[in-house]
Structure 1
Amino acid sequence: MMDDVGLLDVFDKRYVEGDAWHYRFFVPHDTDGLIELFGGTDEFIKELEIFFKNSQIWHTTTLPNPYYWPGNEHNLFSVWQFSYANRSDLTQLFSRWLTKHVYSTQPNGIPGNDDYGTMSAWYLFASMGIYPLSGSSTYILGSPDFNKITINRNNGACPLTIIAHNNSDQNIYVQKVLLNGIPLTTFPFIDHVQHLTCLSEGKQTIQLDFYMTDKVVN
């Protein structure tokens, strides 16, 4: 555990719009390397869980949270980092909690401010259960809110349909995922190259089927 002075002070001048906790996990380009610096997956998961669980006692989303704060850009990727430590169930648990408890249709329904659509984009990706790793062709799969959603492309080619079977507020965990009817062996990761493969094989659509359960599956 960190015990440096000011680590929970989001207005500490040593950090910009954050504190030591916020920036501690901000290595989106090399989460595997970050896990090594923590000494392995067990310690990484323990600290990342503390980051999220302690944030839940703060009921405001308009002012900075000293732990995970969904209204800050350098925290946006943190919930997806559980999957790199073989705990995709925690990505599913906390991402679903965030979409249900932090976002709403009320005037304060977006944490912080939207920052030219950044928070809205995060919400849409999380609600679809698929999140892009910036600067790569990788997506991380989460827990879809939508029972069914189709994403159409501007040119009309190969739309993506995501279906969440047995989906409910209790069934937040992913049992398995099929890509065009074939089990996804790379779960919880999927590569954009697979989209291109679908196009090259002449397929008209891409379909991701999530099978949801109330039991943790890893």
Structure 2
Amino acid sequence: MTARFIVTGTDTGVGKTVFAAGLAGLLDGFYWKPVQSGLQEETDSEVVARLCGLPAGRVLPEVYRLKMPLSPHRSAEIDGVALEAAALSFPVLATPLVIEGAGGLMVPLNRRTRFIDIFAQWQLPVILCARTTLGTINHTLLSIEALRARSIPLLGIAFIGEEMTDTQKTIAEMGKVRVLGRLPRLDPLTPQALAAAMRASFNAADFMEARA
């Protein structure tokens, strides 16, 4: 089966979109964000298209595009759109697919369903993006517990930020989780810099194990 997996974060603003762009490029794959909230500025799919270094068409269109930069459930209510989990059927492709969630695991899709509920149905391996800054131990261990409580396969942690050796070691040991690598903050953030950082920090073979 083809490698495909979910990229999610311990919180919003962790950096998972940049990581997802880098991963899609590293694996020469496709990217898909099923629900986009906020259209006034550059969307996540547009960020990925700009940074991933892949040919046009590798960034798949969203199922739902919502105007306000809010939780999807609230943004949809403002737009008068009914978000349905059944509409979020992931595409089956012959090449790797990177699927990006919205914010953290408990973000509501609607008033009945959270993204973690959808991930539990999909049963695709999850890559959990986590900051290295203060507070990440709590957020990351809680996210790991939530995934395991629902028997969602966790491929590993991708840290984002500056090196924090003890913090990263603590999460790996207490969470009994694999650390896939660490993506540093890049300035300037260019396709070339991102591709180089991904090659230096991550092993593509580790992700190709995630076949579902």
Task: Choose between structure 1 and 2 for higher RCO, CA contacts under 8 A separated by at least 6 residues.
Answer: 2
TM-score (norm 2): 0.30
Point out the structure with the larger helix share: 2
